[in-house]
């Protein structure tokens, strides 16, 4: 096959470098062009070999994965970097930071040597290498702090409307989503009058770290959602990794329901499940937003919001790291506005009921 995907494997363990190289070499579309044992060697080999994709261990002696990522981005931002990580909390914090710095995505190292875990990792890493190679969008946006805030003041001290929310925003995202969500949420003013519920494809443990990171950068509150909590205005809720999240209308207001259930289109949390529940809960007062990500999760949920009389927005191709999810919704004909990421916050607050 011509034009194979040229991959550099970086890990401080010779065993892991060998296993990964052998695993990836079995795919006819992938060519391993080299390996590196630490971040310094990785940057040197990237400069010499110019790979298409780099698989990068997070924790290494000398220069670690984040330092190497910065070095590679300085050399050539078109080279996609996939971070490899354990599933502990410290690694989660570092992975969230690496995504903000421009890593394409990340892969969890298997928690055991069982054939099921190894095969799951093989499928995950090969799928993401191919997605990284074929991605065309930048997936980045210029920093623009609080571009649509309407007044200056202390963080999280703005005027908040009282009472049970009657409008609700639901967002679905995957690859590239952490950067897109950070931009949207950090651009929203303190006067946001609606709850925002979010299904970002991310493993258990990582969503808590992600929510805390967002909360430190936003004027609205951002937390990982909890079972049974009532949604509040001016508050964003991130679905926990490995849980589906639904919103149900009750006498007391809008309530979070979490469940495991089967993976939907490879994902848990599922954007389809979340968006569909929002359509059921608030009907024509629902707003659906679908952001960058692989696959077609969220398209059916966007259709349900549209059919319920709600409003829908999709990220455009140019600003999406991967345009799979937005494109799927657009193909169904259920998107009212297709916008670059930089325009989505302003479009959102212009909709009825979003700002008090």
- Kind plus residue range of the DSSP H or E element containing 215: helix 206-217
**Surface-to-core class of residue 160, CB atoms within 10 Å of its CB (0-12 exposed, 13-18 middle, 19+ buried):** middle
Which of 91, 135, 173, 174 is an active site residue?
174
Contact 269, 244 (CB under 8 A): yes
Active site residue 201: yes
Q: Is the peptide bond before 269 cis (omega within 30 degrees of 0)?
A: yes
Structure tokens at 228: 């049974």
Structure tokens at 298: 């969220």
Question: Cβ of 105: how many Cβ atoms within 10 Å?
Answer: 28
Structure tokens at 55: 């698989």
Own/partner contacts of 112-121, CB < 8 Å, gap of 24 or more, are none
Beta bridge partners of 54: 8, 81
- Interhelix angle 299-307/324-331, rounded to 10 degrees, is 40
Which of 167, 201, 235, 327 is an active site residue?
201
Structure tokens at 280: 């059921």
Cα distance between residue 256 and residue 60, in whole Å: 40
Question: Cβ of 112: how many Cβ atoms within 10 Å?
Answer: 8
Active site residue 174: yes
- Interhelix angle 14-25/115-134, rounded to 10 degrees, is 70
Q: Whose CA is closest to 243, among 213, 275, 209, 201?
A: 201
Q: Establish how many alpha carbons lie within 13 A of residue 130's alpha carbon, considering only the half-sphere containing its beta carbon.
A: 12
Cα distance between residue 291 and residue 137, in whole Å: 12
CA dist 343 to 46, 194, 323, 351, Å? 35, 19, 17, 13
Which of 277, 297, 308, 327 is an active site residue?
297
Catalytic residue positions, numbered: 174, 201, 297
């Amino acid at each position: 096959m011509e034009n194979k995907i040229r991959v550099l494997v970086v890990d401080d363990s010779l065993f892991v470098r060998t296993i990964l190289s052998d695993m990836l070499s079995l795919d006819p579309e992938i060519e391993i062009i080299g390996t590196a044992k630490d971040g310094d060697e990785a940057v040197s080999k990237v400069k010499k070999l110019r790979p298409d994709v780099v698989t990068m261990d997070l924790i290494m002696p000398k220069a670690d994965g984040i330092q190497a990522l910065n070095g590679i981005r300085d050399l050539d931002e078109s080279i996609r970097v996939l971070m490899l990580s354990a599933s502990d909390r410290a690694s989660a914090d570092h992975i969230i930071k690496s995504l903000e710095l421009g890593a394409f995505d990340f892969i969890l190292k298997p928690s055991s040597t069982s054939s099921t875990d190894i095969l799951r990792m093989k499928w995950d890493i090969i799928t993401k290498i191919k997605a990284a190679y074929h991605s065309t969008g930048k997936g980045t946006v210029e920093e623009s702090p609080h571009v649509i805030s309407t007044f200056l003041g202390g963080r999280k001290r703005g005027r908040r409307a009282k009472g049970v929310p009657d409008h609700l925003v639901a967002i679905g995202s995957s690859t590239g989503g952490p950067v897109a969500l950070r931009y949207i949420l950090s651009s929203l003013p303190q006067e946001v009058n609606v709850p925002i519920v979010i299904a970002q494809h991310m493993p258990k443990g990582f969503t808590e770290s992600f929510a805390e990171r967002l909360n430190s950068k936003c004027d609205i509150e951002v937390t990982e959602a909890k079972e049974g909590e009532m949604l509040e205005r001016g508050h964003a809720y991130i679905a926990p990794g490995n849980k589906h999240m639904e919103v149900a209308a009750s006498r007391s207001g809008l309530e979070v329901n979490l469940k495991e259930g089967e993976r939907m289109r490879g994902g848990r949390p599922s954007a389809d499940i979340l968006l569909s529940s929002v359509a059921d809960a608030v009907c024509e007062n629902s707003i659906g937003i679908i952001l960058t990500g692989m696959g077609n999760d969220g398209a059916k949920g966007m259709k349900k919001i549209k059919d319920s009389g709600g409003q829908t927005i999709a990220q455009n191709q140019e600003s999406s790291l991967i345009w799979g999810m937005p494109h799927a919704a657009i193909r169904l004909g259920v998107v009212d506005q297709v916008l670059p990421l930089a325009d989505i916050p302003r479009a959102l607050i212009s909709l009825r009921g979003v700002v008090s």
